Amino acid sequence: MNTPANLKYTKSDEWFDPATGKAGITDYAQGQLSDIVFVEILVEAGETIEAGKPIASVESVKASAEIYAPAGGKVAAVNKGLADKPELINSDPYGEAWMIQLEGATAGDLMDAAAYEKYCAERAH
């Protein structure tokens, strides 16, 4: 499982980069979902959102899942290309598969990489 140390994580498996404001779903989450075949971003650039608000819906060959905002703020950008290449979430969840970018973001109660890895390991048992 890949958990970059510079990111923050939610218990619902989203990541947030405090340096860039980008957010998406974690490597752990994409691994649980398996092959992702559909992504719909539910927010638009210019919207102000709160942490915990649904920002996207993803579907895989196994299941569908709601993706929630790991932080609140103004949506500065939406990764529109993700709808055409949902498989990027499987291959590059922390890079090209970012979902939204926030400006003026306030990160809520997020875990660091070590805490998130421990949380994921506890769920695996």
Q: Do the domain assignments include residue 3?
A: no
Query: Could you tell me the pTM of the whole model?
Result: 0.94
Q: Do the domain assignments include residue 2?
A: no
Q: What is the pLDDT of residues 59-97, one digit of tens each?
A: 999 899 999 999 999 999 999 999 999 999 999 999 999
Q: Do the domain assignments include residue 95?
A: yes
Q: Do the domain assignments include residue 75?
A: yes
The domain that holds 19 is classified in CATH as 2.40.50.100
Give the helix/strand (H/E) hosting 100.
Answer: strand 100-107
CA atoms within 13 A on the CB side of 80: 4
Name the residue range of residue 59's domain. 8-123
For the chain, the domain total comes to 1
What are the residues facing 64 on neighbouring strands? 59
Q: What is the pLDDT of residues 5-41, one digit of tens each?
A: 999 999 999 999 999 999 999 999 999 999 999 999 9
Q: What is the pLDDT of residue 125?
A: 64
